[in-house]
Amino acid sequence: MKEIKLNNGVMIPQIGYGTYKSTTEDGYQVVLEAIRAGYRHLDTAALYENEEEVGRAVRESGIPREDFFITSKLARYALGYENTKREFETTLKKLGTDYLDLYLIHWPRPDYGDPDFDNWEKLDTESWRAMEELYEEGRIRAIGVSNFLPQHLKNLMKDSRVTPAINQLELHPGYLQKEAVDYSRARGIEVEAWSPIGRARLMQEPLLMDIAKKYDISVALLCLCFDLQNDFIILPKSTHRERMEENLRADEITIAEEDMKQIMSMQQAGWSGEHPDRETIKP
């Protein structure tokens, strides 16, 4: 599987397994099945409430911890220096590990309606300072952010010692967030796609259906191939072994340039409706 070199030299598998809503039932077994299918990059978060299941699957897989790349995320309700330090320890305990490969600030603002919603600049910089310290202590191999738009990154980086390694964004055909992607990449920040197939909202898009038929693949696989050819790190998720394995083969298919251009220029589609500056956001 292809790996991407982050700005600090750490290598990350380009295809990871997203665990959001993949572990609502029999979570441990679902993650273990993903590991057996070949995934070594696992993405979780405090808000997903499945860190314990992910950690158990890793331990009981029989595969050494160092063969995995494990990401977790700081919940938006825990922004701030002391909160970040405390939540990090809780995450390690739940995962049953003594280090993380990647730790992200999940959202740049607290929930809409939270008294600190408009105090996000200070909270973000405090959390980042705590994460920089954990990184410099060797307890996290790379640190980054999730759902950060240019204004959030600008604030975070104005006094930072460490440049974020990754910005995890909602990215898929019909929703490419070009400004955020370009701003991140111009600063050496790799871009990682959550909801890389639009949470199934794109499966009935006529353009995508026609192009997928041309390659004799599913629309879901077409979306993943498109994401990879845009050099995104991707986090597909499925609870079915056959689809897990299919998703891992996305890098074996090349979409022709003319088809890529059609997909790039399609109308906005599949957006989750979640925006860090606008509304209450669920994980």
pLDDT at site 282: 45
Query: What integer is the mean pLDDT of 18-24?
Result: 81
Q: Kindly report the backbone phi and psi dihedral angles of residue 225, in degrees, each rounded to the nearest multiple of 5, phi listed first.
A: -60, -45
Label residue 29 by pLDDT band (50, 70, 90). Answer: very high
213-242, pLDDT tens digit by residue? Answer: 999 999 999 999 999 999 999 999 999 999
Q: Which of 48, 135, 175, 183 is catalytic?
A: 48
Token digits of residue 71: 């990401």
243, pLDDT greater than 60: yes
Place of tokens 């498109």: 226
39 is an active site residue: no
161-176, pLDDT tens digit by residue? Answer: 999 999 999 999 999 9
What is the Cα–Cα distance from 264 to 158, expressed in whole angstroms? Answer: 32
Token digits of residue 82: 């002391």
Query: What integer is the mean pLDDT of 249-262?
Result: 97
Long-range contacts at 211-214 (CB < 8 A, ≥ 24 apart)? 211/255, 211/259, 211/262, 211/263, 214/259
- What domains can be seen in the chain, in order of their start residue? 3-202+233-253 (3.20.20.100)
pLDDT at site 197: 95
Global pTM reads: 0.95
What is the Cα–Cα distance from 262 to 197, expressed in whole angstroms? Answer: 16
Place of tokens 């730790």: 103
Cα 201 to chain centroid distance, Å, stands at: 19
What is the percent of the chain with per-residue pLDDT over 70, rounded to a whole number?
97
Q: Are 46 and 283 in contact (CB under 8 A)?
A: no
